[in-house]
Amino acid sequence: MRNTFLSSQLIPALQDSPLNSKKFLPLDFLNESITKKTIWAELPHTWQVTSYNLADNTLKSAKKVFAILVLIDQAKAIKDLLSEGLNDDLLPLALYGDGTTGILQTNDGKTTFHTFARKYKANSAFLFVEKQWLMQAPIMETKGEEMTLHPECPLPFTETDIIGQGQSSIVLKAHLHRAHQHGYKVQGGSILVAVKQFKLKQFRGQDENVFNQEKQILERTRELDHPHLIKHFASCETGEHYFVFFPLADGKNLEDYWKRESSSARSPRLTLWALQQMLGVAAALEALHDKNIRHGDLKPENILHFNDAKGGRLVVADVGIARQHKQFTFERNKGTVTRATTPSYEAPEADYSVEGARSRNYDVWSLGCMFLEYVIWLLDGYQAVETFTNDRESQNKRFYAKTSESTAEVHPKVSERIKELLQDERCGDDTAMGALLKLIASDLLIVDKKTRATAKIVHARLADIVQQATANPSYLFKDTGRAPVLAPSSNKPQPDKSDARTSKDSVMQEERAHEQT
């Protein structure tokens, strides 16, 4: 290729897109480099007199087309292609017929362009189609857009790091190029996004609808517009990969938060914030259940922590693995090696030998497991949470234990720990900690799913606790000097009264009568 001034600029400016191993030219560089001066530098000088509008027309509608032509050393073709009506909006193009004619056509086949076939080398059209993808990286929106891209189309991300991994997907922290975004938040000078990546071919022959189901759930979740429920930015299918783009939680997840802030002073402010966030998570779960959506895998790793001016916000994530309640049947007896949920937080009905399919109240058990760990963390730190996990001596560290092939009970170590906590002076009858523990024991960690509380009841009763604690901080816990008071946390939660509301007995009675399965 002839090394012109413009080509010597374009080639080094190409960026690697690690998400799908393609290269792209950033839009900002395209706009900065394609100017009247650089256009005329690639064309015959006499054209400035005979075709004096050519540069203006190129700048107006065909910057990408011109950049492609420069890269394939056919810049002079811009004159004829513009005359044929080609512009950037018609990209990407395809080869006409068997690809050897030198004719280009729009993807719908309605318009053809004959410039290369008439005046240039036979392979020029082929090179144009090949290089055009360098200019096709899309602008990413944040409104839940569904994109289906050509396998050759690059994604505008420049760096990625794996931050999570499952059997069907990986989660990446990715840097989105600032020229290819609209509505994204800058974090520390970069635009950072969480990307969940699936490999389509891995699922063929198993569940052909798994990705469409996930998209449907994410769309419905997004419509809820709940502050404690994750909203995806966009989804994309390209080649053999499927991506979902989410906001990146700068505070990582709840377990990371527990580890990071374990030495924080257990002040009324931090404790109240924790209760408010639990209330927010319960409210998000209620919102899901109201739409007949079961999360299916509630655990600390799926509760994200976003930092903000008020100290942070906990957000329920990974809702996409859920299924609509009416469509779900549990078939553990098929011996599949894949698991959609985390055994530690599974409800007793997850065990196939315990009769019945999973209901929405499956999530309430998982909520109880998390809330109990949260109380332990608040009182005694993360080391106590780990000890509690290790005390449940079983392969999966579940919160229940089987008593026969068809029955189960709350794990003895769980019952023992709750009893110990209720006898702790800090968790007396007149404290929020005591009330929360009783709620967990009497309504959430109930083996019989038919008598387990609904998310609506949990939310209402927790709202009462938060309301009292907000009005009277001394209600939170009794300060006996046992609560760890160490280095102040850099995270300074602030009270947020927006989630607090008073429960109604009539609502509870109505929900108790609601069908549990």
Residues annotated in a binding site: 196
How many beta carbons lie within 10 A of that of residue 11, not counting itself? Answer: 15
- 91/133 Cα distance (integer angstroms): 9
Alpha-carbon distance of 44 to 60, in angstroms, equals 20
Detail the residues annotated as belonging to a binding site for ATP. Answer: 196
Residue 128 CA to residue 132 CA, distance in Å, equals: 6
C-alpha 267, offset from chain centre: 32
Task: Calculate the alpha carbon distances from 253 to 249, 303, 396 in Å.
Answer: 7, 6, 21
- Tokens for 445, please give them: 């960690």
Separation between Cα atoms, residue 400 and residue 447, nearest integer Å: 8
Neighbours of 97 (CB within 10 A): 10
Distance, CA of 310 to chain centre? 22
User: Residue 413's closest CA among 435, 396, 393, 427?
Assistant: 393
Q: How far apart are CA 113 and CA 99, in angstroms?
A: 13
Residues in a beta bridge with 236 = 147, 243
Q: Fill in the amino acid letter for 497.
A: K
